[in-house]
Amino acid sequence: MSREFFKVAAASLSLLGVAVSSAQTPARDKPDLTGTAIIRGRIVDAVSGEPVRKARVRASSSVLPNGRGATTDVDGRYELKTLPAGRFSVSVIKPTYVSASYGQTRPLEAGKLIDVADGQIVEHIDLKLSRAGVIAGRISDEFGEPMAGVQVSVARLQFVNGSRRPMSIASRSSNDLGEFRLFGIAPGQYYLTATLPRFSMPNESTNMPAYAPTYYPGTASVAEAQRLTIAAGQTVTGINMTVLSVRGMRVSGTIVDAGGRPITSGSVMLSQPASGPSSLMASVKPDGTFVVTNVTPGEYLLRWMSPNPNDERAQMPLTVGGGDLDGIALAAVTAATITGRIVVDRAATDTIKRSDIRFIVTAARLEEAMLIGGTGPPQIKDDFTFEQKAFPGRLLITAGMALPTWTVKSVRVNGADVTDTGFELGTGGLSGVEVELTNVVSEVSGIVDDGTGATTRDAWIIVFSQDREKWRVANRYVSPARPDSTNQYRVRGLRPGAYYAAAVAADAIEGGEWQDPDVLDRLREGAIAFEIGAAEKKTLNLVLTPLVR
């Protein structure tokens, strides 16, 4: 099945620091554990009750990194064998159906974990699969002629790095008749986009025709686009679009290295992070000049990467309007070095291994999240001193611990607390950074009432600071959570202060929307206000509240 999935697991494109561990075998290289436990069940069609044959069933667990798989038989039955003891999730995939997990109450959410003892046979782990939706139609140009090779995608809007962006769920190319058919779509509301792959032409012409990314029913703006609602098993046809014809613009300029010398090789890339993965490329000439043609209006990121992009790179945001952009001056910078040490909170109730230490170096400002940040794993020595490469700018260090019970308590630079404000990294690097870790953290927990007195797991819990200035990505002042298999939600590691807590139905809020200050403004109207201190534990039961749009 030709499906393209984009997972929004982080709020920036900065790299996660990976702990350095001596003589440890990566998890992916370790042989899977085996045992004598078995999970059995049956997969059927949610409407007809008929068996779903040749569906792929998978058991996943932290004790089984590579998982265990099986295929359903003619009666829809499966058996997952030789399982070790552990807690497992069971999921199933089959083209034309919506993927599902055992215990799931709606598509795309987490399922229920199953406790399995060694030698145990767990029966009746049954799932009902709903038919997936289909969107079909035709793409044409401004003259009504069919357009082949246009990438047609269904997307959801998600809030990433301070702005709403369409994130593709599935995509296909139109055929020679301009026809497309997107399948395997879970129920929900989607935007439809059509993008013709573009190429920068060497003749540098600025009069060539070009086609802008187009949203259904025929606009270049996602704000003016019409959403399509897809029900389970629904086939929506007759979705016809005309791709917008525009004049192709030119973007040209020069590029120099960190020493001010012309860069004489490589390529520059012009991409639109907010509009999907398509990009334009052009070669850098021996005199350090470059010309990118066939550029349509929009917001872009212009970048050049050295053979080792973690050492040197050049990039800048650009807005292309209705005319050519010439004289762009692109200057490369080299990664600077952050040095410091890791200390453990004196109040900590346990010790931590060097191999369990991770942290994230990311941009302090949302608009710079794609431009600066850490370049790779921090080098952590046996004495807990570290060295981290990062590109200059205002940065934050946040938790990325391998152990969920530990977090970053504070970050100090030469004695000054910069945990929340961040610090400025110049081209000369920065020393004297101290990252304090602790396992003594605050916790808010409780259950969610659906409004009728019944406990529900079908909810998002958003805990956020009462200070609006602290509503930004990569901090502990805004924290989302979901109830677990015991119906309890938990939010750990909040900084001391005053907060709001709100619970909304899982289908009322899109992933990442809690990063949007406008959404938080609406949530606090029905939220519960509370305060929490360092290491304080608080129980807070919530009732679902509507998110007014």
- Tens-digit pLDDT profile for residues 410-445: 899 999 999 888 899 998 999 999 999 998 889 999
Q: How far apart are CA 245 and CA 143, in angstroms?
A: 10
Q: What is the pLDDT of residues 377-415, one digit of tens each?
A: 788 999 999 999 998 888 988 876 656 678 888 899 999
Name which residue leads in pLDDT, 208 or 333: 333
Average confidence score pLDDT of the chain:
85
Q: What is the pLDDT of residue 221?
A: 86
Q: What is the pLDDT of residue 424?
A: 93
Q: What is the pLDDT of residue 339?
A: 95
Start-to-end CA span in the chain (Å): 35
Annotate 188-205 with b (16+ C-beta within 10 A) or e (fewer).
bebbbbbbbebebbeeee
**Averaged pLDDT for residues 315-326:** 89
Instruction: Give the single-character DSSP code of 309.
Output: T
Q: Which domains does the chain have, with CATH numbers?
A: 32-129 (2.60.40.10), 133-246 (2.60.40.1120), 249-333 (2.60.40.1120), 336-438 (2.60.40.1120), 443-543 (2.60.40.1120)
Sign of the C-alpha dihedral computed for residues 372, 373, 375 and 379 taken in this order: positive
Q: What is the pLDDT of residue 277?
A: 53
Q: Tell whether the model's pLDDT for residue 200 goes beyond 70.
A: no
Q: Tell whether the model's pLDDT for residue 138 goes beyond 50.
A: yes
DSSP 214-275: EETTTBS-GGG---EEE-TT-EEEEEEEEPPEEEPEEEEEEEE-TTSPBP-SSEEEEE-GGG
pLDDT > 70 in the chain, percent: 87
Q: What is the pLDDT of residues 62-111, one digit of tens each?
A: 888 889 999 999 999 999 999 999 989 999 999 899 999 998 877 766 67
Q: What is the pLDDT of residue 408?
A: 86
DSSP 465-495: ES-GGG--SSSTTEEEE---TTS-EEEE-PP
Which of 267-281, 295-309, 335-349 is predicted least confidently? 267-281
Q: What is the pLDDT of residue 296?
A: 87
Q: How far apart are CA 330 and CA 316, in angstroms?
A: 7
Q: Tell whether the model's pLDDT for residue 10 goes beyond 50.
A: no
Q: What is the pLDDT of residues 156-189, one digit of tens each?
A: 877 766 667 778 888 999 999 999 999 989 888 8
Alpha-carbon separation of residue 161 from 14, 298, 381, 436, 495 (angstroms): 11, 18, 32, 26, 22
Q: Tell whether the model's pLDDT for residue 507 goes beyond 80.
A: no
**Averaged pLDDT for residues 207-212:** 74
Q: What is the pLDDT of residues 39-67, one digit of tens each?
A: 999 999 999 999 999 999 999 998 888 89
Amino acid of residue 106? R
Residue 9: pLDDT band (50, 70, 90) is very low
Encoded tokens for 474:
């990569």
Q: Tell whether the model's pLDDT for residue 15 goes beyond 50.
A: no
Annotate 384-422 with b (16+ C-beta within 10 A) or e (fewer).
bebebbbbbbebbbbbbbeeebbbbbbbbbeeeebbbeb
Encoded tokens for 346:
């004196």
Residue 19: pLDDT band (50, 70, 90) is very low
The SS3 call for residue 506 is helix
Residue 21: pLDDT band (50, 70, 90) is very low
* Cβ contact 43:76 at 8 Å: yes
**Averaged pLDDT for residues 238-260:** 92
pTM over cut 0.75: no
Closest CA to 3 of 191, 148, 155: 155
Q: What is the pLDDT of residue 20?
A: 31
Q: How far apart are CA 428 and CA 8, in angstroms?
A: 33
Q: What is the pLDDT of residues 456-473, one digit of tens each?
A: 988 899 999 999 988 875
